[in-house]
Structure 1
């Protein structure tokens, strides 16, 4: 069995993606900081017949994140699909003129060091399989920088560049890299931004394997 690893798993999008990929036969590995939340998601998945496991890690601690992904692969099988989708901290979203260089440390750790550490951990396994998918999930400021959200705008731009470089370099190895930009908030009941709708979109990105950047909805003005 191969597995999907969801970094930044929560009860909304993370759980929905876990259910979608789990129904397709993947073992499901979940990474988040909150053990109680992870256990609740794993219990729900297990009750639905899905093989799942959670590991705690802080994405701003690269060695900790890599260790969690290694543990999940050992327990569930090689990570064939990696989704990096933690929700940024609110204090990353300062106005640009109020953002000093120290204010960018957290966003860069979160949206650059974390993804790089995660990819470097799972990529050797994907290469051994001869296939894989890496999914980056970002907010709208990844595509249109927002002057009131400088930290995420800058860090998401760097994450996007990293993802695009991976997309171009790894396509010939059967490893597809894609980014899903979700403008605004994830919204239960919304036709395109409901967690289950987004999970269907992410499954389609894994299945159809074309293009790098995709949008869950129209960009907000």
Structure 2
């Protein structure tokens, strides 16, 4: 049995993706800072017939993130699908002329160091399986930088570049790397940005294995 590891798992998109992939037979590793929250979500999923476990890690703590992924692998089996989708902190989104070099430390740790740690941790297992999928989920500033959200604009651009490089480097090994950009907020009931709809989109990206960048909705939405 293989698993999906959802980094930044919460009650919205993370829970929806857990249900969608769980229905397809994946065990689910839920990784977030709040262990009580991930354990509660795992219990809720368990009552619905999805095998899930919660693991605590802050994506800005490389050792903790690596340890959580190791524990997920040991508990649930090899990570075949990795989703990196934590929600950025509000203080990452300062106007560009008010953003100092120190203000970029958090965004870069969050959107660059975290993904690199996560991918490096699961890549050996994917290679052993001969298959895998890495899904990066980002906001609209990953595609169009916004002057009032400098931290995410800069760090998401770096995360996008890393993901695209991985897409090109790993495709020949049966490992598909893709990015889903969700402009604006995730909105319950929205025809394209409802969590369950986005989960279906991510499942389709995993299945179809075509192209790097995908858009959940128009950028001006």
TM over 0.5: yes
**How would you bin the TM-score normalised by the shorter chain?**
over 0.9
Is 1:176 aligned with 2:176? Answer: yes
| CA-CA distance at 1:40 after TM superposition | 1.7
Task: Give every structure 1 segment of 4 or more consecutive aligned residues whose post-TM-superposition deviation is greater than 4 Å.
Answer: none
Q: Deviations over 1:57-77 (max 9, x none)?
A: 000011110100010010001
- Inter-partner Cα distance in structure 2 for 1:22 and 1:80: 13
Q: What is the deviation of 1:170? A: 0.2
- CA RMSD, 1 decimal: 0.6
Alignment match, 1:103: 103
TM-score (norm 2): 0.99
Within a 5 Å distance, the mapping from 1:16-165 to structure 2 comes to 16-165=16-165
Instruction: Structure 1 unaligned segments of length 5 or more: list them.
Output: none
Structure 2, unaligned runs of 5 or more? none
Secondary structure at the aligned position of 2:121 is classed as helix
1:36: how far off? 1.9
| Partner in structure 1 of residue 166 of structure 2 | 166
Deviations 1:37-87 (A, max 9, x none): 112210111001111101000000111101000100100010000000000
1:177-208 CA-to-partner distances (Å, cap 9, x unmatched) read: 00000000000000000000000000000000
Distance 1:150 1:206 in 2: 30
Provide the C-alpha distance between the structure 1 equivalents of 2:186 and 2:199, rounded to a whole number of angstroms: 11
TM-score (norm 1): 0.99
